[in-house]
Amino acid sequence: NRMSSQSPQNQASLYVPENIVHNAKTITFIRSSMSAITGSAAGILGLTGYSGFIFYILTAVLTSFLIWSIKTNANPGIYFRNGSDVWTEGVFGGLFSYVLFWTLLYGIVHVYD
């Protein structure tokens, strides 16, 4: 592999900053969308308390795995300076969207429970 034989300074210069920013925005969009969808599902299912947060953790890990396997073909180092960005980028930001949709849909669907 040509990239692994170069020093870290030379390797960093191989990345195009605009592409790195675009890739980060793509991950943020995917996470926000999935957080809204899974938050809505949690609200409709009537999850409360810890079960709702565990559902978020499970779906966030599943989303990360799907990004890692489908969008990066299991090689995130090509698309990001730090390969762990696929697993961590936007996870906590997605939590706010998740809670918003979770509570909204729970309140709408389970108003008379």
State the pLDDT confidence band at 56, using cuts at 50, 70 and 90.
Answer: very high
Give the number of C-alpha atoms closer than 13 A to the C-alpha of residue 52, restricted to the C-beta side: 22
State the pLDDT confidence band at 39, using cuts at 50, 70 and 90.
Answer: very high
Q: Residue 73 pLDDT more than 90?
A: no
Give domain limits for the chain.
Answer: 16-109
Q: 3-state SS of 24-48?
A: HHHHHHHHHHHHHHHHHHHHHHCCC
User: Who has greater pLDDT, 108 or 71?
Assistant: 108
Element (H, E) at 101: helix 91-109
Which residue is associated with the tokens 């779906």? 59
Q: What pLDDT score does 77 carry?
A: 83
Of 57, 55, 68, 58, give the one whose Cα is nearest residue 92. 57
pTM above 0.85, yes or no: no
Of 76, 106, 85, give the one whose Cα is nearest residue 31. 85
State the pLDDT confidence band at 11, using cuts at 50, 70 and 90.
Answer: low
Which residue is associated with the tokens 């499970």? 58
Q: Residue 12 pLDDT more than 70?
A: no
State the pLDDT confidence band at 75, using cuts at 50, 70 and 90.
Answer: confident
